[in-house]
Amino acid sequence: MSVRMISPTIPDDEKGYELDVFCVPKHYEEDLDRVIIPHGLIMDRTERLARDIVRDMGTHHIVALCVLKGGYKFFADLLDYIKALNQNSDKSVPLTVDFIRLKSYCNDQSTNSVKVIGGDELSTLTGKNVLIVEDIVETGKTMETLLSLLSEYKPKMVKVVSLLVKRTPRSSGYRPDYIGFEVPDSFLVGYALDYNEYFRDLSHICILTEGAKEKYKV
């Protein structure tokens, strides 16, 4: 049975929330415009994604592959929800983890090259059901590159979950199997999404100010 996947859409004119209504680290107060996805909402959506994933993949051992560094928070929280499902139902599925590090960004621009700069030996994924866990899909190049790399190692099944998908004319048209939220074409930080390594230590997903792009430029 095919199940229609819907994902919440954050509109282009989303006002979000003033920084003052939530807790934001003092060192970032000047750098952020608004909170657009509060941490609690990320968690609520992640809980449901876990349920959908277990429904579809829950008959065989799953290898969850975290795309570092941006995916680490989402990965950890998603796996906690999958674990909770596993330990509270009559049906459960073994879950193992793997990590890969990719880099495609400099400042707020996606570069054309996607580099694998670390992680486990991909040959361990041969014959497995692999769940790739990513923070955000923008052009889709990173994911398309990773998927083609992975296919050389012949996994049994590959599904991709991305917490965010950006609505952008730069998109290749690639769509992950599971999407947390569809977001406007702005540069987003927080919940492990970074700008030149800053803002991973922020719980909510926020829009960066133009001034902050200058301040943290490399």
Counting every residue written for the chain, the total comes to: 218
# residues contacting ligand IMP (CB under 6 A): 17
Is 163 within 8 Å of 172 (Cβ atoms)?
no
Of these, 193, 202, 206, 212, which contacts ligand IMP (CB under 6 A)?
193
Under the binding rule (CB under 6 A), the answer on residue 98 touching ligand IMP is no
Is 74 within 8 Å of 108 (Cβ atoms)?
no
Residue 46 binding: pick among Mg ion, ligand IMP, none (C-beta 5-8 Å cut-off by kind) = none
Under the binding rule (CB under 6 A), the answer on residue 131 touching ligand IMP is no
Of these, 139, 160, 179, 190, which contacts ligand IMP (CB under 6 A)?
139
Measured CA angle at 105 (ends 100, 111), to 5 deg: 110
Q: How many CA atoms lie within 13 A of 147 on its CB side?
A: 17
Tokens of 34: 């608004």
Under the binding rule (CB under 6 A), the answer on residue 140 touching ligand IMP is yes
List binders of ligand IMP among 68-87 (CB under 6 A).
Answer: 70
List binders of ligand IMP among 110-129 (CB under 6 A).
Answer: 110
Of these, 31, 77, 98, 135, which contacts ligand IMP (CB under 6 A)?
135
Measured at CB, which residue is nearest to Mg ion?
70
CA distance 164 to 187: 12
Is 110 within 8 Å of 141 (Cβ atoms)?
yes
Q: Which residues bind ligand IMP (CB under 6 A)?
A: 70, 104-105, 110, 134-142, 187-189, 193
